[in-house]
Structure 1
Amino acid sequence: MANFEEAYEKAIKDKILPGYALIAGDKNGNILYSGAKGVRSLVEDSAGPFQLDTICAIASMTKIMTSVAALQCVEDGLITLDEDVSSHLPSIGKYGIMTGFDDDKNEVITVPNATPITLRMLLSHTNGHESDWFNPMLMKWRASRGETSFCGPTVEEKSTLPLLYEPGTSFRYGAGSDWAGKLIEKVSGKTLDTFMNERIWTPLGIKDMTFYPKRRADMTDRTARFSTLKEDGSGPATDMGGFDVTFGATDCLGGAGAFASASAFVTFLQAVLRRDEQLLNEASWAELFRPQLDERCKRAFNDYIKSSPLHEQYLGMCLPTNIEKQWSFAGMLVEQGQEGRMNEGTICWGGVPSMTWYIDAKAGICGVAFAQILPPMSPSILKLHEGFQRAMFGKAGA
């Protein structure tokens, strides 16, 4: 048994991780490794084995698929990357730019925003937004309106927030991909679920992806439940009682709302790795992988990750902070390699339930690690995933 497998099995034995699925492959469709262990639920009557076809909420791992779908709309001539999206999304940015909060009046202080928000900004997190649960002042704004973070069933209700900076001038992690998903729906006349099914999943032969798993009878008995560790990341893990990662969304959330199996997701990643012409033309693939941040925004991104332990945990992908990072439409682009783990130019990202994916084009491999456990991006779980990635990197080199 490989060392990384022993580490995962110890985590299961120590009740740190209920279950997991791992798959790595190459651009030719070959599988370098696949394995799954543990249970998909800590509730006895649904504690079936965690398998490669177990359905999981993939949260922010949805973003790369939304970027591919958005570029398909660009290829179709339905939208451009650099036009103002407000004609399609009239509520976006309507509150202006927040400069402070008046505690006496219990209201936000804003100035108007005159800079158009574009699809490029939405996909690169330079659009002025930040997730409300990441920002204390936005949380005060929510509270002043009798609201909670990320509340409501639609993208508009969840993500129509005051901006924090002039669009195009900085980086904050927010709902840009949710807005991009809504934009795709507006210009295509289809739900994001239908669009992706027609343009991405079906061409690749993928069946185990959806935004609406509860509507799929074939997924009901394969869907994993969420569990949680203590706040400090220690065990034992406990069941979360049917936690909803979309917080009641009825809209398709292009930034955080899809569900998939590990097998399905790695099939998609392999198509991205080989730049499958069924999905995008070569120019669009080049755009997907291209670094999108200018020097000012790149510095803001790297400083943002370092700004607090929470930011480093949620966004740092268990990478040293001294490694320079960029953002591509696909995800975080690592400008320097890390010995024994990845080459320079590797793109990676993850999802709230301590899940990760990566594409190392230079090594010709990609991989995915599935779990359904909080706190978000739990360091102890991500360390396990790093061990898996290192093992696959070594295998590819051998």
Structure 2
Amino acid sequence: MTQDIGKIYEDAITSGLLPGISVFAGDKEGNIVYSKSFGKASLKKGTNLPFTENTLCGIASMSKLMTAVAVLQCVQDGTLDLDKDVKQLLPEIGKYGIITGFDDNKNTAILTPNTIPITLRMLLTHTSGHEYDWFNPWLIKWRASRGEKPLSGPDAEYIATLPLVYPPGTGFSYGTGFEWAGKAVEAVTHLSLDEFMRERIWKPLGIEDDASFFPRVRDGMKDRVADLSTLNEKGEPPAVDASDFSMTGGASDCLGGAGVFATPRAYYTFLSAVFQRDPKILSPTSYEELFRPQLNETLEQCLNDDIASSPEKTQYLGLQIPLSIRKNWSFAGLVVKEGHEGWFAPNTVFWGGFPSCMWFIDHETGICGTAVCQIIPAMHPKVIALYGEFQKAIFNLVKTKMD
């Protein structure tokens, strides 16, 4: 079975679908079941760096799991409260109110005030009313009316300060909640999110030299950063260099929802520690909160409806998990309420990141894994399909040993 995994990715490299990738999977005892790297770290002319487990990659939304852990550490410390209004800490949040339409004749958004408090629980479950502007036609028009571009700006607060798309707590939309959650951590700790994660997550796990929000200015890191590559407009290979594309929208500070760079081995080390509920990171109670499905029946329906609402959202949020499988959301990520034979068990948690990266934690089967590459378009279906095959191979390998 492990030979099959290798062939899957070797063929993807040969076809030009992927320049390079590194994959890891392990069991609940912390043993690595499979790990291998393939291809190159850059398609930039004049470079010939191999893609290895020590290549630093922009992990985009896979940063969210680290930020969720950071928030729960502050909750443990007593400096943050999951259910308290965050306005005192984050005075700019929700200041534009709720967008209910856009007047094309006046080139003006139609806004109504918001009176419902926004909490960290809402921010960590994408129920606060925030949606990524590039997902929402009204927000795209709102940005354009101000001479701004989607998901870009000088800092996290600028990028995250958007009109809400519904009253907080009444819907689901994937958005900038984790940027705000990261700012809340910074507000109470008086540290940057990079400094806080270095002290509370990366150093305890021994990965402080392999994770950073700012790898390009750190000695020992800057020469190991992979370059982004892209497929053509139709999403077809061969991939070409796209190293001028910024996944952080030009922000100079820490984007809690998208800004971490990590090596595949470092991210797997973190993922495995969370999977094993390492007490160096969180308490047992906090781990329960991290993995617990958070959405009530109404909000769960909103999540499932949102994933199915457009081909773009199905591609980006659905992770090619059948739409018929009911899903909920935890602070860690997407939770499947049902299993899929030969693939995953009920309550498996998934999430990914913009450059077609992905991770999973399958509690019942006793495996976790991650696959890290640097390719766009985002969450490319053919690349995500490879991850599905990778996960199935690991699932069946472990199941065979158990039987």
What is the match of residue 156 of structure 1? 157
Give 1:111 deviation, angstroms.
1.2
In structure 2, what is the Cα distance between the partners aligned to 1:177 and 1:241? 25
In structure 1, what is the Cα distance between the partners aligned to 2:291 and 2:110? 38
- Identity of counterpart residues, as a percentage? 54
Matching of residue 16 in structure 1 with residue 53 in structure 2: no
Q: 1:231 to 1:323 in 2, by over 3 A?
A: farther
Q: Once the two structures are superposed, what CA deviation does each residue of 1:157-183 show, in whole Å capped at 9, x if it has no partner? A: 111111110100100000000100011
Q: Is the 8 A contact 2:157 2:179 kept in 1?
A: no
Q: Once the two structures are superposed, what CA deviation does each residue of 1:73-107 show, in whole Å capped at 9, x if it has no partner? A: 01111011000000010010001111111222211
What is the match of residue 218 of structure 1? 220
- TM-score when normalising by structure 2: 0.97
Q: Is the 8 A contact 1:131 1:174 kept in 2?
A: yes
What is the match of residue 47 of structure 2? 46
Correspondences of 1:230-309 after superposition (within 5 Å): 230-309=232-311
In structure 1, what is the Cα distance between the partners aligned to 2:184 and 2:73? 12
Give 1:318 deviation, angstroms.
1.4
Equivalent of residue 353 in structure 2, options 351, 359, 371:
351
In structure 1, what is the Cα distance between the partners aligned to 2:3 and 2:203? 35
What is the match of residue 396 of structure 1? 398
After TM superposition, the structure 1 stretch with the greater mean CA deviation from structure 2, 215-224 or 135-144, is 215-224
For the residue of structure 2 that corresponds to 1:323, the secondary structure is coil
Q: Is the 8 A contact 1:313 1:377 kept in 2?
A: yes
In structure 1, what is the Cα distance between the partners aligned to 2:17 and 2:67? 32
In structure 1, what is the Cα distance between the partners aligned to 2:129 and 2:253? 22
For the residue of structure 1 that corresponds to 2:93, the secondary structure is coil
What is the match of residue 137 of structure 1? 138
For the residue of structure 1 that corresponds to 2:332, the secondary structure is coil
Q: Is the 8 A contact 2:194 2:213 kept in 1?
A: yes
Q: Is the 8 A contact 1:233 1:379 kept in 2?
A: no
Q: Once the two structures are superposed, what CA deviation does each residue of 1:133-170 show, in whole Å capped at 9, x if it has no partner? A: 00011011111111111121212211111111010010
Equivalent of residue 367 in structure 1, options 353, 366, 369:
369
Q: Is the 8 A contact 1:4 1:384 kept in 2?
A: no
What is the match of residue 339 of structure 1? 341
After TM superposition, the structure 1 stretch with the greater mean CA deviation from structure 2, 271-280 or 116-125, is 271-280
After TM superposition, the structure 1 stretch with the greater mean CA deviation from structure 2, 317-326 or 23-32, is 23-32
Q: Is the 8 A contact 1:21 1:370 kept in 2?
A: yes
What is the match of residue 378 of structure 2? 376
Correspondences of 1:70-149 after superposition (within 5 Å): 70-149=71-150
Q: Is the 8 A contact 2:42 2:48 kept in 1?
A: yes
Runs of 4+ off more than 3 Å:
none
In structure 2, what is the Cα distance between the partners aligned to 1:124 and 1:198? 25
Q: Once the two structures are superposed, what CA deviation does each residue of 1:368-387 show, in whole Å capped at 9, x if it has no partner? A: 00110000000111111111
For the residue of structure 1 that corresponds to 2:38, the secondary structure is strand
In structure 2, what is the Cα distance between the partners aligned to 1:110 and 1:244? 30
Give 1:280 deviation, angstroms.
1.0
Give 1:14 deviation, angstroms.
1.1
After TM superposition, the structure 1 stretch with the greater mean CA deviation from structure 2, 350-359 or 210-219, is 210-219
Corresponding letter in the other structure for 2:382: S
In structure 1, what is the Cα distance between the partners aligned to 2:243 and 2:228? 8
Corresponding letter in the other structure for 1:332: L
Query: Which ranges of structure 1 fall in alignment gaps of 5 or more residues?
Result: none
In structure 1, what is the Cα distance between the partners aligned to 2:30 and 2:235? 36
Corresponding letter in the other structure for 1:104: N
Corresponding letter in the other structure for 1:264: A
Corresponding letter in the other structure for 1:312: T
Q: Is the 8 A contact 2:22 2:35 kept in 1?
A: yes
In structure 2, what is the Cα distance between the partners aligned to 1:121 and 1:301? 13
Corresponding letter in the other structure for 1:93: G
After TM superposition, the structure 1 stretch with the greater mean CA deviation from structure 2, 59-68 or 7-16, is 7-16
Give 1:231 deviation, angstroms.
3.0
For the residue of structure 2 that corresponds to 1:47, the secondary structure is coil
What is the match of residue 7 of structure 2? 6
Q: Is the 8 A contact 1:27 1:271 kept in 2?
A: no
Give 1:44 deviation, angstroms.
3.6
Give 1:233 deviation, angstroms.
2.1
